[in-house]
Structure 1
């Protein structure tokens, strides 16, 4: 039996009196892309924090490829792509610097890159199609390019499990398609991808499976099944049914992303 890449078992987390996760359980196999969906306050960020080992659950446990999260982080097998709001884009780091950060765990206290580190960064930049932007300050990239830079950091690090927090927020459709293709390629190579997203329209093309979260896992199945209006209503409210019915009689809707251009960076 294959060991799950991500195994969350009966995890409960409180912030003071606030219940953020309530006996939540989740299992994702290697080589799969899993979409994590739920309204604001549903516990998605808390789930990411528990999986990364950055917060300690009140109950339950988390394993990454059979190891505890702290060991997975030390070994570099888990990588994280944060929301844009969590990054200081004015900090004077180049794209190459950001990607090189993925190699720090193997450099020792001097953090002096070796030839193998430079080669790994070059391969990662090429994989995400950012080689020509390697010397550019990270904040000067477009929204989609910034997200790919952090994916490249995970690739250079050698992460086999990647967590992405709202990777499609603030990116245009071209960037979204590029990111989707990249994540699908990484999964085909054996990586496990967990993506938190509000972009429900993009989910079927991106994910093999989806998880509907409202402090606990309400449903875990194929995107087609999870995205049925009657299932979304469990987490998002009955107005989802009304919106779905109105959209059935109109043209397909585009996601309300900012129209930043890859070529403008």
Structure 2
């Protein structure tokens, strides 16, 4: 995936300002920034649900829309973006990942059912396949959307704050799955606020503040000088310090645009 000079404006407010970024396959990349930094907007530009005002996004050699039509992009949204009251079972939701392969009839073939069953087994939700999606815990819901991406055979996985409100078991399951997907050649991007968990989650980190401030190894990204640029943190504060200000309330935080309140 490549972004070149990507600019996204919401009215008079600029959400992304000349983003240049290349995400390579076979790697889990953390996407980190304060609220309003443009993380969710960048993910939506990659999925093609937000069109850049300037610049280009290329996914698997084509446009985001083409990649999405081919089922190459898997997206795990924030919980707030999903209608959990919709009458779909866990199996139904995972099956939607196969729609691009079914044609207009959307009639599931044995290969589709096998792919869904395998994906549910990998996220440890086989026993809950018939349960309505809204009756799951937060962690189980996240695992359902990871299963959907696995079932569709996505080559690029985008996850927007997947560990918010998630139990430790689900978090560990998801992290293990992401590492496995990366080992199989997927490009995985995880938007997250959790700096402490980042070294175990990702091999690379992108620090975003409407433009890319840093992209490289996690250890270098967590260096004080880079955190200062990203969050306005005290140069002596490091992730895990008891007196370190959390990213959401760090000095220098800018006003959060309404569309990025959960970014």
Q: TM-score, normalised by structure 1?
A: 0.88
2:56 aligns to what?
Answer: 61
Q: State whether structure 2 residue 99 is matched by structure 1 residue 111.
A: no
**Alpha-carbon distance in structure 2 between the residues aligned to 1:123 and 1:245:** 37
The Cα of 1:107 is off from its aligned counterpart by: 1.5
- Seen in structure 2, the aligned counterparts of structure 1 residues 69 and 137 have a Cα distance that, compared at 3 Å, is same
Q: State whether structure 2 residue 221 is matched by structure 1 residue 226.
A: yes
2:34 aligns to what?
Answer: 39
Q: CA offsets per residue over residues 78-132 of structure 1, 9 Å max, x none?
A: 1100001111112111100000000111222222211111111011111111111
1:161 aligns to what?
Answer: 156
1:207 aligns to what?
Answer: 202
2:47 aligns to what?
Answer: 52
2:238 aligns to what?
Answer: 244
* Selected match of 2:186 from 188, 191, 195: 191
**Alpha-carbon distance in structure 1 between the residues aligned to 2:122 and 2:216:** 30
**Alpha-carbon distance in structure 2 between the residues aligned to 1:243 and 1:95:** 43
2:253 aligns to what?
Answer: none
**Alpha-carbon distance in structure 2 between the residues aligned to 1:193 and 1:87:** 21
- Gaps of at least 5 residues in structure 1 are 1-5, 254-265
Secondary structure of the corresponding residue to residue 22 of structure 1: strand
2:255 aligns to what?
Answer: none
Secondary structure of the corresponding residue to residue 66 of structure 1: coil
Q: What's the C-alpha RMSD, in Å, of the aligned pairs?
A: 1.8
**Alpha-carbon distance in structure 2 between the residues aligned to 1:137 and 1:14:** 37
The Cα of 1:245 is off from its aligned counterpart by: 8.4
How many residues align? The count is 245
The Cα of 1:230 is off from its aligned counterpart by: 2.4
Q: TM-score, normalised by structure 2?
A: 0.89
- Seen in structure 2, the aligned counterparts of structure 1 residues 115 and 196 have a Cα distance that, compared at 3 Å, is same
Which structure is richer in relative contact order (CA contacts within 8 A, separation 6 or more)? Answer: 2
Q: State whether structure 2 residue 58 is matched by structure 1 residue 87.
A: no
**Alpha-carbon distance in structure 2 between the residues aligned to 1:170 and 1:153:** 20
Q: State whether structure 2 residue 30 is matched by structure 1 residue 26.
A: no
